[in-house]
Amino acid sequence: MSQENCACSKDIMIFACSGASNLGQLANQAAVELTQEGFGKMFCLAQIGANIGKYVQSAKVMDEIVVIDGCEKACGKTVLENALMHMKKHIVISRLGIKEKNNFFNNPDDLAAVKHKVKLAFPYPIKVTFPSSTPLSPGDRAKSRQLGGKCC
């Protein structure tokens, strides 16, 4: 059984430049976790760069596209621009004050900051679906409504 947090939603396509540094891996991990949380869906940036037709076409009909780039080189953004795709949101991790290192280790606080920045880029409610074996109790439904939930 699944429960929806919000009736209002837009489809969000998430692309991450998974570059060969901690920032690239942070972009990738943020995209993975946002997808797992139901915030949007991660798609393969390489398929767009390779101009695989069906993937490019499916990307062009999405409500929203967000690109998470690790550094100022903005490879992810460039790939989409070369495919004549318009992204509405572009996050550059190095602009958040996170330093690039030649390793793949990341601080959980940095990951949380990147995910938070992506979520803040969207001013409207996002559909989030999560598995639940039990429905919300009446008290939890009331609390959800108080916090802005529209599902109950």
Q: Residues 39-77: pLDDT tens digits?
A: 999 999 999 999 887 878 877 778 889 999 999 999 999
Residue 121 pLDDT exceeds 70: yes
* Under 8 Å between Cβ of 50 and 78: no
Going 72 to 19 to 94 to 13, the CA torsion angle's sign is positive
**pLDDT score at 1:** 34
| CATH classification number, 9-127, choose in 3.40.50, 2.30.230, 1.10.10, 3.40.720 | 3.40.50
Residue 129 has pLDDT above 50, yes or no: no
Query: pTM to 2 decimals?
Result: 0.75
Chain Cα centroid distance, residue 7 = 19
Please check whether residue 114 is in contact with residue 33, taking contact to mean a CB–CB distance below 8 angstroms: no
The whole-angstrom separation of Cα 105 and Cα 128 is 29
